Structure 1
Amino acid sequence: MTIRERAAEFSRVREGKELRAGSHIWRYSLAGQGETVLLLPGGAGIGIGWLDLVLALYPRYRTIAVDYPTTASSFDELADGVLAVLGAENVQRMHVVGQSAGGMLAEVLSRRIPDRIRTMALSGAGLYGSEDVPRLERKLVAIQSAPWEETRTATAKALRAAWQDAEEADFWIEQVDAAYRADGALGLINSYRALIGIARRSEQLMRERPRQGPVLLLKADDDPLITEAHTQRLIGMHPGCEIRTFPTGGHSLLIGRTQDYIAAVAEFLAQHGEPATWR
């Protein structure tokens, strides 16, 4: 199937829901049944980015793919909202899959509910540190001061570079730009505010006791956004984690190496899931 056909199939199998949590409106998609897999997207915050993994896991797993509200400006606010979604759906235990900033959110969430997370699978992920704060602050100022159309064009160019001109990059850039058209600059501004906050907090996060349990780290050698320092912070918090490295794939292996990514995550879930799931 083409990417647009797969997107149509995703729309068919998903159930869209909406929830108010505090001052934020959360939108999310449910699909399938069985063990719950919570899907945390990257900084663009669009749950449709998980469509290929959702279809691969459907109907064996119950997936929850969240959209981040553009009004949330910190990872604590995002974690609060995710917990509200889990509460609304009566989820007691879950696997967590995070991409990019979604991996950082998984770390924050795991400090809140360590005993409820079965496994974590993280890709294109690391942990920003104090060295990233000046760069992120400059980018935030640039976004706030530049014309919004100019920022959208620059963002599309940056996404294409991050995704290494993947075959289906045009579709994904369209999805991100559609969200930006709908919500304006606020979502991107608050995304950078959240990243600055987590970068300033990284040392504290590393001192806190991480959850104990299986962790899979998927990375590409040509990821232009995650540095070795970012990766090592993540590994330092999970010294026994399983690491799979691909020579190519860019920042998003789900986009750049779709089948390899799906195979790795599905194998990991099968290895660490409840036996009843696979009867």
Structure 2
Amino acid sequence: HARRLSKAEELCRGTAARAVATLNSSDVLWECVVNCTPCGMGGAHVDEMPLPWHELEPALHPKAVFYDLVYEPPLTPLLARAQAQGFHIANGLSMLLRQAEAQAAIWGYLPLRSRLEAPPGPRRKLVWLIGYRASGKSTLAPRLAQRLNCPSFDLDALLEARAGRPIAQVFGQGEHAFRVLEDMELSLLAARQREGVVATGGGAVLNHRLVETMRESGTVVYLDAPDDLLVARLEQDAAARPSLTGRPVAEEVQEVMAWRRTLYERAAHVVIPVSAASTLEALSSEIMARLPK
């Protein structure tokens, strides 16, 4: 990706590649996408993408590979979106290591064909709150973060900010579109943040890769509220929390929790029972007592 067509044409000279001015002017599907821009790099460009995804997607081969020269943070918005859509991704850290190996060999610091390994990343101490809708994740996250002296994040709020519209409207486009954005936001947060308390969406545990991401980057805490409490809270807040299936709330909760509760329990490092009498102070104290020291 070059800013000027003339520069792209110069880069293609002497190769089988050819420059195109727009995505629409390409008559083939792209099998490899390489980002050589600062988009996604930490700092002012961290939330940028080199091209809007809705323009890029129609030009992609179904098995396209994405390579981003940026390696800090390790996941850029471009790679996060591609990963959420099922494409294979890689960042620029491997290229940096291979360059370092060659330079070290030239200057005699390392024998030829030596291999350098990436140093272990910083230990991440995120606390991921999982559970069904209305289990109290978004309410508890700020208080727990305050007591832990770390930032709090609401995954739904981050998703809304990137989409530029409410969750209900995003979900109205279909659950797949919603899950792609959820995947992207959770993955970016895990890659960028070393600590914090995160209120996740109720369906984050449906994605096995996201469960692994949460478990590897911190502690997963399941707020286990009984079905009748969930129903009461959802019915009380029906305008802001409409039914996902169009069925009565009680039927929906019972049906979904019958199989999803197992997913929550398997994903969690810590299970915290929630009742109508539970207070933020009591819940946060119990969680803090059970976090790794």
Q: Specify which structure has the bigger relative contact order, considering alpha-carbon pairs within 8 angstroms and separated by 6 or more residues.
A: 1
Highest CA radius of gyration, 1 or 2? 2
Give the TM bin, normalised by the shorter chain: 0.3 to 0.5
- State the TM-score, normalized to the length of structure 1: 0.38
- State the TM-score, normalized to the length of structure 2: 0.36
| Structure 1 or 2: more helix by fraction | 1
